Copies of this chain bind each other. A is one copy, B any other.
Amino acid sequence: MDTSRETDLNTEQKIKEAARKVFLEKGFDGAKLKHIAQEADVNIALVNYYFRSKEQLYKSIFLEAFKNFFGTIYHLLNDELPLEIKIWKLIDRYTDFLAANPHLPLFVLSELLKGGGVLITDLEMPKLLKTSHFVMQLREEGERGTIRKVDPIQVLSTLIGTLVLPFMAKPIITLIADFENEEQFRVFLENRKTVVFEMVMGYLRSR
């Protein structure tokens, strides 16, 4: 019986996990096969043996990250709940999700903006957002006058932007706010949930 998690994984999985870590931290160009192989504790040639090329390995990691990033939002947006509760849940869960995957936003956005590898037009996930339950809900309640009439894209941008920024700007926030340990940053994130919630709900309810 083997108790360590490392050795449970087969070589292919080990390499993929190592690649995920290195690519997410350094991006395609910054990541070297040497780093990935070291991280996986494996011979460099094995990376190509299992994945044919750096590019192919990268693509599988990127697509996975991309789906994870938007899939999580999509899932939360389609939860059939009253607007206010759904917004709270989105803020709460997505913050926790990002805390567990802090490199995801910057990786996905910066690699997308460089546009080197994957064609953005092939990526179905983001398109689905505009037919999500949440967007319909904003429209309907806007019509009914329960909330202000809004452009759903603006609301989505605001939500995602406010939730995602702390992770992309962590070094700067830490500097400005004089955080001295991880705990203080964690508290900041926890407070952030209510700030964002009150701000967005206040906006929707006003008028």
Sort chain A's interface into a size bin: 35 or more
Report the copy number of this chain in the oligomer: 2
Residues of B within 8 A of A188 (CB): 153-154
Tell me the complex Cα distance, A203–B202, Å: 7
Interface of A is mostly: helix
Establish whether residues A160 and B165, one from each chain, have CB atoms under 8 Å apart when the complex forms: yes
Taking each of A126, A127, A178, which has the highest tally of chain B beta carbons within 10 Å of its own beta carbon? A126
Identify A109's interface contact among B106, B158, B192, CB under 8 A: B106
Q: Is A34 an interface residue (CB 8 A)?
A: no
Q: Tell me the A residues contacting B by CB distance below 8 Å.
A: 25-30, 103, 106, 109-110, 112-116, 120-121, 123, 126-127, 129-130, 150-151, 153-154, 156-158, 160-162, 164-166, 168-173, 175-178, 188, 191-192, 195-196, 198-200, 202-203, 206
